[in-house]
Amino acid sequence: MVSITRSRLPHLGRMEMRGAGGVYFAHSYSGLGAILSTLGGKLVAEAILGDPARLDLLARIAPPAFPGGTLLRAPLHTLGMLWFVLRNRLP
């Protein structure tokens, strides 16, 4: 499985959780995980050690909203998955 963002950039950042401090995340490498996950891990580690500048720079690149909003997200996602299943089964 490959996680792809609409911008084709990794999604990195930090979320503040009440009572839990900051929760860091790095995902959606758009098929370039071998390279970008190493960079993402390094930036998260730097932020945890007190230097969040580079992580914060990439975290400001927010993924665009899903077309159709929350109402169409699930049906369009299902339709897309069915399309690729059908495409994989046809010669």
Over residues 44-82, the pLDDT tens digits come to 999 999 999 999 998 888 777 777 788 888 888 889 889
Q: For residue 50, what pLDDT is reported?
A: 93
Provide CB contacts within 8 A for 81, sequence distance 6+.
none
In whole numbers, what is the pLDDT of the chain averaged over residues?
85
Q: Say how far apart CA 81 and CA 75 lie, in whole Å.
A: 10
Nearest by Cα to 32 from 61, 11, 47: 11
Residue 2 confidence (pLDDT): 64
Structure tokens that stand for 13 in this block: 């950042």
Question: What does DSSP assign to residue 91?
Answer: -
Residue 69: what pLDDT?
81
Task: For the chain, give the percent of residues with pLDDT over 70.
Answer: 96
pLDDT at 4: 73
Alpha-carbon gap, residue 48 to 59, rounded angstroms: 14
Residue 15 bridge partners (DSSP): 23
Is residue 1 pLDDT above 70, yes or no?
Answer: no
